[in-house]
Amino acid sequence: MISTGRLFHIIFRKPRSWRHNYIFPASQFSFVFGEYDYSFRFESPEIVAGITKSGNFVVYERKSPDESVRKVIGSSAGKVIVNPVEPVNLPQEITRFLEIHFTPVVLAPESENQIYVKFPVEIAVFLESKGNYDVLDIFSLNRPKYALYGPPDQGVITRHFESEVFDDIPETDACREGVMELTIRNLTRGWIEVSRVVFENTGIYIYYGDCVSMVGQMDIFSKTNAETKTLACPLRQGMNPAIPLFTARKSLIPENLTFLMEFGVGE
Amino acid sequence: MITLDTVIYNDVVVMDLIIFVAWVTGALVLAKILAIYMKRSFSDRISKPELDKLLKVIQVMLILIAIYFGFPRIEVNLSEIILVGGTASLIIAFASQKLVSNFGSGLFLLIERPVKIGDNISIGDVSGNVEEIRILSTIIRTYEGIYIRVPNEKVFSSDITNYVANAARRFQYVIGISYRDDAEKAIGIISDLLEKHPYVLRHPEPSLFVSELAESSVNITVYIWAPSATWWSVKTEMLWKIKAALEENGIEIPFPQRVISFSGENLPDPGKTAYKAE
């Protein structure tokens, strides 16, 4: 029986440049992230989005179960870029942190382990012209959920996601989930049980190719302290870097921010 | 020819004048560096015009202090200035007691930071969003959109409730269901509903329990944690959704009611009555 996830697909017509686009395997999706002209269309049972001509206007429209978006685009000279982006924007941006809860992993003293976990994907539609990007819309097939990491007075709100732990790159529904290769280094002299990781989402590096991916690193200093960051390298050779939202929004945020987890790495 | 030892007046030589000028210039440079540092540190806590005023006051004070300590080098007698200045200061201090108090409070507010611009607060009987933190006063826009200027002295000495100082906050509902209905089923329905809402936090998770067997209903208390930025919208949204979901599943939210029983002795016996009637 076909999974619900596999039913979702995105149909983009007349992509302008196939060189930068990647088509997901036909068995999985008719799905493309990359650059398009103004005639693209995205269709899933839940969300329909696309650009249409309406008189002299070019109009972007999206219909989701909870909301409808309609925007008039002032120029028909640009192009559209569809990329996976940092999953902290929906329903509205209230945090910069992504928290992944996973099956507890017990680490030996002074050891290094590599695991794979899934993370949620949000899809951004960018407009591009003369090297300038702007975010036209962001949507997701995931139902977002948030949590508090740490105590209310010192902690941070995080975009919460629960994942299993995999020893190899898992198969994912790329519309909904990405794969993170997470290297966990236990720098302590004791056994440590890890079941969550929090990333500072501004400046994370997402790549897309045969899946959406990130490469993360977590250095554990104690049961309560760890430092996390994502690395600017793809999971596999040939993957394309996604446009970071902070670049498109021209936010003055330094790249590659690390996050110090001060409130524990376990439950 | 003018040398470093050339006397300008009394015992003051050119060298003394150069040292004095260098001293004051140093103070100017220091004031400038301090201004840059303070702009970086305080730009998100205080509005730009107010910050500029504060910086000017600090810069002028720094330069005046430098001049004060530099004067002996050029043999300027400060005793008279101090006498006159001291007396004047006392008069000014008495006259501007409130002003100084507000100014001092403003500085302490900036250091202690109990409130920030945009915070949702309550000071005394004033509630609203902080629009500006000025040197002498704090501007609050009430929920009705009214502009209120609160002197910093009052802000500093009042109890301040900051509703958004913490990342998350908890609120509660008490939902009464009928005695005929299954409380566990109702809790399950409410839990499912809360699980679907993005801003009902997963951690700390919502807490639901039967809290009271009340006169007309079995009361279920629901504790929900939500991000401080969105708690109000979650609170206003969820109550009606809970009510609708419970009713959809056949669970009644009863009106206040009282069951009245009459004692059997005082009731007419229906059988006897019927017999007598015959």
Q: What is the pLDDT of residues A108-140, one digit of tens each?
A: 999 999 999 999 999 999 988 877 888 899 999
Nearest to B189 by CA among B220, B211, B165: B220
Report the helix count and the strand count for chain A, using DSSP H and E: 2, 20
pLDDT at A17: 36
Among candidates B165, B202, B229 on the partner chain, residue whose Cβ is nearest the Cβ of A147: B202
pLDDT category of residue A24 using cuts at 50, 70 and 90: very low
Can you tell me the distance from the alpha carbon of A249 to that of B1, in angstroms, rounded to the nearest whole number? 65
CB contact under 8 A, B198 and A143: yes
What single-letter DSSP state applies at residue B72?
A: G
Cβ proximity of A21 and A32 under 8 Å: yes
CB contact under 8 A, A155 and B201: no
CATH classification of the domain holding B131:
2.30.30.60
A13-22's contacts with Cβ under 8 Å and 24+ in sequence apart are A13/A39, A13/A40, A13/A41, A14/A39, A14/A40, A15/A40, A16/A79, A20/A240, A22/A208, A22/A209, A22/A210, A22/A240
Cβ proximity of B234 and B226 under 8 Å: yes
> Which chain A residues contact residue B227 at CB under 8 A?
94-95, 146, 148, 157
> Which chain A residues contact residue B167 at CB under 8 A?
148, 150, 152-153, 155-157
Report the helix count and the strand count for chain B, using DSSP H and E: 8, 10
CB contact under 8 A, A147 and B203: yes
CA geometry: angle at A227 spanning A223 and A231, to 5°?
140
Cα nearest neighbour of A144 on chain B: B198
CA distance to B8, B24, B31, B62, B135, per residue, from B65 (Å)? 24, 9, 11, 5, 22
On whether residue B124 sits in a domain, the answer given is: yes
CB atoms within 10 A of CB B268: 8
Q: B177 and B217 share a domain?
A: yes
CB contact under 8 A, A148 and B203: yes
* Interface membership of B230 toward A (CB under 8 Å): yes
Which parts of chain A fold into alpha helices (H)?
4-7, 245-248
The yes-or-no verdict on residue A14 having pLDDT over 80 is no
CA distance to B117, B157, B162, B165, per residue, from B126 (Å)? 16, 14, 12, 17
CA geometry: angle at B58 spanning B56 and B63, to 5°?
95
pLDDT at B44: 61
Q: B231 and B183 share a domain?
A: yes
CB contact under 8 A, B198 and A148: no
CA distance to A29, A31, A169, A172, A173, per residue, from A3 (Å)? 12, 16, 19, 12, 10
Can you tell me the distance from the alpha carbon of B176 to that of B183, in angstroms, rounded to the nearest whole number? 10
Q: B176 and B229 share a domain?
A: yes
* Interface membership of B168 toward A (CB under 8 Å): yes
CA distance B197 to chain A (A): 7
Give residue B211's domain range. Answer: 168-248
The yes-or-no verdict on residue B86 having pLDDT over 80 is no
| Chain segment B118-149, per-residue pLDDT in tens | 888 999 889 999 998 888 889 999 999 999 99
| Chain segment A207-226, per-residue pLDDT in tens | 998 889 999 999 999 999 99
**Average of pLDDT values for A12-26?**
37
On whether residue B265 sits in a domain, the answer given is: no
Task: Identify the burial level of B28 via C-beta atoms within 10 angstroms of its C-beta, where 0-12 means exposed, 13-18 middle and 19 or more buried.
Answer: middle
> Which chain B residues contact residue A147 at CB under 8 A?
201-203
In total, how many domains does chain B have? 3
pLDDT category of residue A21 using cuts at 50, 70 and 90: very low
* Interface membership of B229 toward A (CB under 8 Å): yes
More confident residue, B43 or B215: B215
Q: Which residues of A touch B (CB under 8 A)?
A: 90-92, 94-95, 143-150, 152-153, 155-157, 160
Supply the mean pLDDT for chain B. 85
The yes-or-no verdict on residue B23 having pLDDT over 50 is yes
Task: Identify the burial level of B217 via C-beta atoms within 10 angstroms of its C-beta, where 0-12 means exposed, 13-18 middle and 19 or more buried.
Answer: buried
pLDDT at B184: 95
Can you tell me the distance from the alpha carbon of B34 to that of B27, in angstroms, rounded to the nearest whole number? 10
Question: Strands of B218-227's sheet, edge to edge?
Answer: B168-177, B218-227, B207-213
**Average of pLDDT values for A86-92?**
88
> Which chain B residues contact residue A155 at CB under 8 A?
167-168
Can you tell me the distance from the alpha carbon of A143 to that of B248, in angstroms, rounded to the nearest whole number? 23
Helix axis angle for B48-70 and B14-42, nearest 10°, is: 160
The yes-or-no verdict on residue A3 having pLDDT over 50 is no
On whether residue B270 sits in a domain, the answer given is: no
More confident residue, A253 or B32: B32
CA distance A114 to chain B (A): 26
Cα nearest neighbour of A92 on chain B: B230
* Interface membership of B204 toward A (CB under 8 Å): yes
pLDDT at A4: 39
Cβ proximity of B168 and B183 under 8 Å: no
On whether residue B88 sits in a domain, the answer given is: no
Amino acid at the residue B142 = T
Can you tell me the distance from the alpha carbon of A43 to that of A48, in angstroms, rounded to the nearest whole number? 5
Cβ proximity of B98 and B60 under 8 Å: no
On whether residue B194 sits in a domain, the answer given is: yes
A&B contacts, CB < 8 Å:
50
ipTM: 0.82
pLDDT at B270: 56
Q: Determine which of B192, B200, B201 to mutate to test the interface with A (most A C-beta atoms within 10 Å).
A: B201
Among candidates A90, A147, A150 on the partner chain, residue whose Cβ is nearest the Cβ of B201: A147
Domain stop point among B162, B179, B211: B162
**Average of pLDDT values for A239-245?**
88
| Chain segment B258-274, per-residue pLDDT in tens | 778 887 655 555 555 44
CB atoms within 10 A of CB A194: 23
**Average of pLDDT values for B196-201?**
96
What single-letter DSSP state applies at residue B229?
A: T
Q: B177 and B108 share a domain?
A: no
Nearest to B256 by CA among B179, B154, B156, B142: B179
On whether residue B136 sits in a domain, the answer given is: yes
Helix (H) or strand (E) holding A61: strand A57-63
Q: Determine which of B44, B164, B192, B202 to mutate to test the interface with A (most A C-beta atoms within 10 Å).
A: B202
CA geometry: angle at A186 spanning A184 and A192, to 5°?
105
Cα nearest neighbour of A160 on chain B: B202
What single-letter DSSP state applies at residue B98?
A: H
Strands of chain B, DSSP E: 7-9, 12-13, 120-123, 126-133, 137-142, 147-151, 160-162, 168-177, 207-213, 218-227
On whether residue B266 sits in a domain, the answer given is: no
CB contact under 8 A, B227 and A160: no
**Average of pLDDT values for A184-204?**
91
CB contact under 8 A, B168 and A155: yes
pLDDT category of residue A252 using cuts at 50, 70 and 90: low
The model's pTM: 0.72
Nearest to B198 by CA among A90, A69, A175, A150: A90
CA distance to A47, A101, A158, A160, per residue, from A196 (Å)? 31, 4, 12, 10
On whether residue B90 sits in a domain, the answer given is: no
